[in-house]
A and B are shown apart, each in its own frame.
Chain A
Amino acid sequence: MRVTMDVRATIQDRRHRAVTLLEVLVAIAAAAVIFAIAMGILITTNQTANRAIAHESLLQQAELAMKKVQSAIEATVWPEDVASSPPTQAALVFTTNSLALLSSWHPTRAGRFCRYEFVTIEKVPDKGDVRTIAGYLCDDPGGGPKPTFEKLGGEFDSAIQFRYATQVGPDLQPVWQESLPTGQKPRLIWIELVVRDPERRDRRGQIEEMRLTTAISL
C-alpha cells in the first residue's frame, strides 16, 4: 500500500511541476522548425505561382506581338501593284534586323496602306545590361500623321529577327538568306520574336524570356 501511494504521489508531482528551461527550448525549437517548414512551403508555392503568372504574361505578350507582325506581313502588297503608292516612300527592306514592306493591314484606318518597318533598337545600357526593344513604324504612304514607334513587347524588352527564302528545295527545306538584294521578293519570311522580362530571373539566374518562331508564306 505504501509503494502504491508513493508512485501516485510521484505521478501527481510530475503533472504539476513547472517546465524546465530545456523543455521550453525544445518546444520553441520544434515550433520554429514547423513554422519554417510551413513558411518554406508557402513561399515556394507563392514563387511558383508568381513564376507561372509571369510566364503566362510573357507568353501572351509574345503571341499578341507575333499576331501583329503576322497580320501585317500576310497582307503584303507589292508597290508596283498599287498605282496610288509612290515607290520612293514604299522602299522595301529585307535584312536580318529590319523588315520594311507595304501592307494593306492598317491598325487604325482600314482601307489605307501602311509601310511597316519592323526593327529592333538598343536601349541605353544601364547597369551593364544591353536592353533591346522590337517595334514598328506604320507610315502611311499617302500622307497622314508622322508615325510613332510602337513597341511589340509592351513593357517588356523584346527583339525581332528575320530570314528570307525565295525558293524551297525538293526536300521541302527552304534556302534561307539573311538579306535580299534590292528588287528581289521573298516567298517565305521567317520570324523570331523574343520577349524578355529583365526584372525576373529563372532558377539558373538567366533572364526570363519567351521565344516564338514562325514563317509566313507570301
Chain B
Amino acid sequence: MGRERLDYRPHQHGFSLMEVLIALVVVTFALYGVLDLIASNQRISLRTQRRAAAIGLGRAKMAEIQTAGFDAVASLLDKGPGGPSQSLVYPSESSEFKAPYAAKAFRWQARFDRNSQQPEVIAVEVRVLWYQPTTGAAEEALSNSVSVGGLLVGR
C-alpha cells in the first residue's frame, strides 16, 4: 500500500488573495465610473451656467461697442499697431470686465474687420472667454468661449 497524496485544496473555503485583489480592482473601477459620472454631471451644469452668463456679457460688450459707434472703431483700425489696417484684434490681450460687472472668471476680446469693398461697414466679433472653474488653468479658457457678432455701419 503506497502513500496516498492528500490534496484537499479544491475543497477549501474562502477566497485567495488574488481573487480578493481582482474583486477590489473591479469594484474600484466601477466606483470611479460612478463618481466620474457625478462629476461630469456637475461640470455640464456649471458649463451651462457659465455659457449663459458669457452670452449676456458678450451681448453687453457688443452693445457697448455699438454705442461707441462706427467712428470710434474706425479710429482704432486706423491707429492700429502697424498703422491703418483692415482688421484688428482689440485689445491685443483679452481683457477683464471692469466694474460694475462682477465677472472675474470672464475675459473679452473683440475682432474688427473692415470690408475692403464696403469701407463703411465694419464686422465685429466679440469673444468672451472663461476659465474652467475646476482647474483654473489658462489653457482651458480657450476651449471655453462664446462669440457674439454684429455690424457697425458708418454714415
Q: Enumerate chain A interface residues (CB-CB to B < 8 A).
A: 1, 3-4, 7, 11, 14, 37, 41, 44-45, 48-49, 51-52, 55-56, 59, 62-63, 66, 161, 163, 165, 168-170, 172-174, 176, 187-188, 190, 192, 210-217
Contacts and interface: CB of A to CB of B under 8 A. Distances in A.
Contacts of A213: 53, 56-57, 60, 101-103
Contacts of A217: 63-64, 66-67
Contacts of B111: none
A172 B90 contact: yes
A161 B90 CA distance: 29
Given A190-B60, A213-B60, A63 B52 contact: yes
Given A45-B37, A51-B42, A213-B53, 8 more contacts: A11-B8, A45-B34, A48-B38, A51-B45, A52-B41, A172-B73, A212-B56, A214-B63
Interface string B17-38: 0000000000000010010011
B75 A41 contact: no
Interface residues of B, number: 42
B149 to A, nearest CB: 15
A55 B4 contact: no
Contacts of B76: 170, 172
A37 B53 CA distance: 37
B100 A1 contact: no
Interface string B88-116: 00100000001111110000001000000
B53 A44 contact: no
A106 B38 CA distance: 44
30 contacts: A3-B6, A37-B31, A45-B37, A55-B45, A56-B48, A59-B49, A63-B52, A165-B64, A168-B69, A168-B72, A170-B72, A170-B75, A172-B110, A173-B64, A174-B67, A176-B99, A190-B101, A210-B52, A212-B52, A213-B57, A213-B101, A213-B102, A213-B103, A214-B57, A214-B63, A215-B60, A215-B61, A216-B63, A217-B63, A217-B66
